């Protein structure tokens, strides 16, 4: 039977750098209160642990407050020592990991640490690493959403687990981890050292919700969506489909987290005049798919939202797809 680690992140673990600049979730300004960092697991975690134990699994619950504590859990997924000395995932899958997530940002934080652990430096790239990848097949993880599922009337959940149709109830998550299939998904890496599971939305709006124009060059492989001269209301970089709309306008058409490509769209405001001389602004959406995308802002800072984490882009950044690099346990 399996050893299963149920990993919960302290509430401060939702920043772009993991547990905050100091690496301590509970001392981070992002932590809403000290009580949120208590060791007591939340009810869904306890229910999932009980369901796993009933099936004979050996279960341990861990609350991580820092990157170091996340890394200590991930080290249990290591395979036997290699002749080249690289850390590498265990292909025999003796230990299974379930990540209890209050947000997509927390799930991304764990995946960042997995990539950091198993991505070999370019100077030590092994011969058994696929030519279109910079990381090996990362270990599959179970995803336990901590937020309740919505009612049918309110529509499906918009977090990544909801988009992927993953099980949400603790008992169903436990069954998927022990008996379900491994579903491999694409991963977006970027030259800033981070990863993206769902998508990135560049741009911002004012207090009234009106998009604010910015300028930047956007390229997908050899296709130029914007040379930098057009005003842009938004740029969506989609691995999945969570950043597909802007003000009711569909940006991404068919973002698929397992097709080996990234879909990119830019929204350009176009002013038209009616026959009566009235001016009207419509959004022109330009789309492209490819293996990589580069965005070079012409403005000093462009706000963005990346898997729920906010930031600003002040220099050129490139994202590229890693086909099938990460995986989840599914029904």
Binning the chain into helix, strand and coil, the percentages to the nearest 5 are 20, 40, 45
Q: Are residues 57 and 87 in the same domain?
A: yes
pLDDT tens by residue, the chain, 331 residues: 899 999 999 865 444 444 543 344 443 333 333 334 445 678 999 999 999 999 999 999 999 999 999 999 999 999 999 999 999 999 888 899 999 999 999 999 999 999 999 999 999 999 999 999 999 999 999 999 998 665 555 666 789 999 999 999 999 999 999 999 999 999 999 999 999 999 999 999 998 888 999 999 999 999 999 999 999 999 999 999 888 888 788 999 888 999 999 999 999 999 877 677 677 778 899 999 999 999 999 999 999 999 999 999 999 999 999 999 999 999 9
pLDDT for 234 equals 96
CB 197 within 8 A of CB 239: yes
Q: Are residues 65 and 145 in the same domain?
A: yes
Q: Are residues 132 and 237 in the same domain?
A: no
Q: Are residues 181 and 234 in the same domain?
A: no
Q: Are residues 87 and 209 in the same domain?
A: no
Q: Are residues 164 and 205 in the same domain?
A: no
Whether residue 319 is contained in a domain is answered as no
What CATH number should be reported for the domain holding residue 130? 3.40.50.10330
Phi first, then psi, for residue 68 (nearest 5°) are -60, -40
Q: For the chain, how long is the longest CA-to-CA vector?
A: 76
Please give the residue range of the domain that contains residue 148: 3-189+326-330
Q: What pTM was estimated for this model as a whole? A: 0.88
Q: Are residues 154 and 226 in the same domain?
A: no
As a whole number of angstroms, the distance between CA 246 and CA 236 comes to 9
Q: Are residues 228 and 180 in the same domain?
A: no
Q: Are residues 7 and 147 in the same domain?
A: yes
Q: Are residues 30 and 157 in the same domain?
A: yes
Based on the structure, what is the number of domains in the chain?
Answer: 2
pLDDT for 327 equals 98
Q: Are residues 175 and 252 in the same domain?
A: no
Whether residue 237 is contained in a domain is answered as yes
Q: Are residues 204 and 178 in the same domain?
A: no
């Amino acid at each position: 039977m399996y050893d299963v680690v149920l990993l919960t992140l302290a509430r401060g673990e939702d920043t772009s750098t993991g547990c905050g600049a100091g690496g301590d979730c509970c001392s981070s300004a992002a932590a809403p209160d000290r009580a949120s960092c208590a060791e007591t697991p939340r009810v869904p975690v306890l229910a999932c642990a009980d369901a796993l134990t009933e099936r004979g699994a050996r279960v341990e619950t861990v609350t991580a407050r820092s990157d170091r504590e996340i890394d200590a859990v991930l080290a249990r997924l290591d395979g036997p020592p290699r002749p080249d000395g690289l850390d590498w995932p265990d292909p025999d899958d003796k230990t299974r990991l379930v990540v209890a997530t209050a947000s997509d940002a927390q799930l991304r934080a764990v995946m960042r640490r997995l990539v950091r652990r198993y991505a070999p430096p370019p100077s030590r790239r092994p011969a058994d690493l696929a030519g279109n990848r910079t990381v090996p097949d990362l270990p599959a993880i179970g995803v336990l959403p901590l937020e309740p599922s919505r009612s049918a009337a309110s529509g499906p959940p918009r977090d990544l687990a909801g988009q992927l149709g993953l099980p949400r109830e603790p008992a169903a998550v436990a069954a998927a981890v022990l008996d379900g299939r491994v579903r491999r998904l694409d991963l977006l890496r970027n030259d800033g050292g981070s990863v993206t599971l769902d998508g990135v939305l560049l741009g911002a709006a004012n207090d009234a919700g009106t998009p604010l124009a910015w300028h930047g060059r956007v390229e997908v492989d050899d296709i130029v969506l914007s040379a930098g001269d057009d005003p842009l209301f938004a740029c969506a970089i989609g691995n999945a489909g969570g950043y597909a709309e802007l003000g009711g306008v569909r940006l991404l058409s068919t973002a698929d987290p397992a097709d080996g490509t990234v879909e990119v769209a830019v929204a350009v405001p176009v002013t038209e005049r009616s026959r009566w001389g009235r001016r009207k602004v419509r959004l022109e959406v330009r789309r492209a798919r490819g293996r990589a995308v580069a965005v070079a802002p012409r403005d000093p800072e462009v706000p963005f939202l990346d898997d729920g984490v906010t930031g600003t882009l002040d220099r050129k950044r490139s994202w590229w797809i890693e086909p099938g690099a990460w995986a989840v346990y599914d029904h």
